[in-house]
Amino acid sequence: MKKTAKTSGVPEPSVRRMPDYLNYLRLLKNKGRDYVSAPYIAKDLNLDATQVAKDLAYTKATGKPRVGYNLNALIASIEEFLGLNRTDLAFLVGAGSLGEALIKYEGFGYFGLNIVAAFDTDENKIGQEIHGVKVFHIDKLRELAERLHPVLGIITTPAAPAQQVADLMVGWGIKAIWNFTPCSIKVPEKIILQNTSIYANLAVIMKKVQTLYDNPISKIEDISNTL
């Protein structure tokens, strides 16, 4: 019953690893390296070498046996794969600290994302500039969307108004929505929806921390301390 918008045949986990590779390879390039092999990358990023090779193959990158991949070509290949040549305009609704953090996120520009306007309902925030991005009243969204045709809408409001904001965005022609609220929002089938929940990550970490309490290992450590 669940329907996940396809990411062009490439497994989503592979897509998620791409920014890691890119970040790592750019660092390596700055160190003056020219070639790099999949096993080498794998070791540094704590991944399986075969998996790295397979991921890189998705980007149409090609390497040479015994030598590896040309670093410049590989970086270009991943950038191409992720579409970083293209720059998409984005609107952000909810100019709280999370919204501010996203706007200030240095790397976004390098990842083909350009937040051009922020919106809020808080009169204190309206008119302000965050890192060069102006905050407008939400009522201006329609007008600005008609003019700029943003592709992506980012929701960083509190949970309550999330659905309303999403409806507004869809109404004014946004193609993709990135939802940072913990609320599950409904959008028409054609709209791309990506939920990013801090809580999902928190849950995983708390669950792992829990094992520290359950596990007799901590008790063993206690014992060894008394020896």
Partner DNA sequence: TAGATTGTTAATCGATTAACAATC
List the one residue from 109, 210, 220, 222 that touches a copy of itself (CB under 8 A).
210
Phi, psi of 98 (to 5 degrees): -65, -45
Distances (CA, A) of 200 to 15, 180, 206: 19, 11, 10
Stretch that binds DNA, among 20-28, 61-69, 123-131, 200-208 (CB under 7 A): 61-69
Nearest in space to 159 (alpha carbons), one of 184, 187, 195: 184
Out of 30, 212, 219, 225, which residue is the one contacting a copy of itself (CB under 8 A)? 212
Task: Give the nearest distance from C-beta 180 to a copy of itself in angstroms.
Answer: 9
| Residue 148 binds to a copy of itself (criterion: CB under 8 A) | no
Q: Does residue number 176 form part of the binding site for a copy of itself (CB under 8 A)?
A: yes
Alpha helices by DSSP H, the chain: 12-30, 38-45, 49-58, 71-82, 97-104, 141-148, 162-171, 198-214, 217-226
- Quick note: the x/- pattern for a copy of itself over 6-35, rule CB under 8 A, is xxx-x-x--xxxxxx--xx-----------
Interface with DNA (CB under 7 A), residue from 19, 26, 45, 53: 53
Q: Compare residues 27 and 220 and give the one whose CB is closer to DNA.
A: 27
CB of 20 to a copy of itself, least distance (A): 6
Given a contact cutoff of 8 angstroms between Cβ atoms, the answer to whether 151 and 177 are in contact is: no
Q: Does 46 bind DNA (CB under 7 A)?
A: no
Distance in angstroms (rounded) separating the CA atoms of residues 209 and 196: 22
CB of 206 to DNA, least distance (A): 17
Q: Which two tokens stand for residue 120?
A: 């809020």
Which pair of tokens denotes residue 170? 């869809």
Distance from C-alpha of 217 to C-alpha of 211, rounded to nearest angstrom: 10
Binding site for DNA (CB under 7 A): 1-2, 11-14, 37-40, 47-51, 53-54, 56-57, 61-69
